[in-house]
Structure 1
Amino acid sequence: MVARWVLAAAYLAAGYLHIAHSAPFLRIMPPWVPFPRETVIATGLCELFGAIGLLIPRTRWWAGLMLALYALCVWPANMQHAINDLGSGTGLPLLYHAPRLLAQPLIIWWALYAGKVTDWPFGRRL
């Protein structure tokens, strides 16, 4: 399934960036998150393991579920990034942040679909 491979590639790239180039991610970390650098590294590892898990049939279901939960959990960092940028006027514009925040439910669904946790809306109707 192409959707699975595309999502896995995106999470592999994101995981690598979180680990190898963590500074930009540290800047968008909400202030209430403890151990920000370690959290960024941990999120990168989650992305890498989730991407690999999507490609292994035995772990695909769990990887899809965990990546969906992961996308839900990082939503506050994406919101913080938007607040920081839009509040200061020196960051990325609303034209970047609005689609990104609105796409988060789609990314959550995509992980569930790629992991075969759901086949909605393409599955059989009862």
Structure 2
Amino acid sequence: MTAPLTRTAKLVAGAFTVSGIVHLVRPQVFEPTMPAWVPAHRDVIVYSGVAELLCAAGLAWPRTRRAAGLASAALLVGVFPANAQMASDALRTDNTALKVATLARLPLQVPMIRAALGAARGA
């Protein structure tokens, strides 16, 4: 019997669902966060949204939870440069709320990665 999805893994799945939908419906929101070295920004944004939705669905289904947990952790590591770019860009603005939000987001990736890996282990 597969263990139920933990609360933290549910949060990862929920965050991926919301973010994945935004990636598909309003990809232009993410374009400023893309590091210059990443090619085809719009395509990468759309594909990452699809990946987030697939990971969220995979986490919800016990038969695919292990693979989805590993894929979710890899995706979180993969998008970290965009999150770091967003924080770096925010620091150059006068928008204090944006600075706080983007900087706070960076360390939150660690528990999200841990939750994804925990889901992969069945924990």
Q: TM-score, normalised by structure 1?
A: 0.84
In structure 2, runs of 5+ residues without a counterpart are none
Aligned residue in 1 for 2:46? 41
Structure 1 match to 2:60: 55
CA distance in 2 between partners of 1:100 and 1:106 (Å): 11
> Is the helix fraction higher in 1 or 2?
2
Give aligned pairs, total.
118
Structure 1 segments of 4 or more deviating over 6 A? Answer: none
- 2:34 corresponds to: 29
State TM-score, norm by structure 2: 0.86
CA drift of 1:100 comes to 0.9
Match of 2:15 in 1: 10
**Cα RMSD between the aligned structures?**
1.7
Q: CA deviation at 1:95?
A: 2.2
Instruction: Indicate how the Cα distance of structure 1 residues 77 and 92 shifts in structure 2: closer, same or farther if over 3 A, else same.
Output: farther
Structure 1: stretches of 5+ with no match in the other structure: 120-126
Cα distance between partner residues in 1 of 2:17 and 2:94: 31
Aligned twin of 2:85: 80
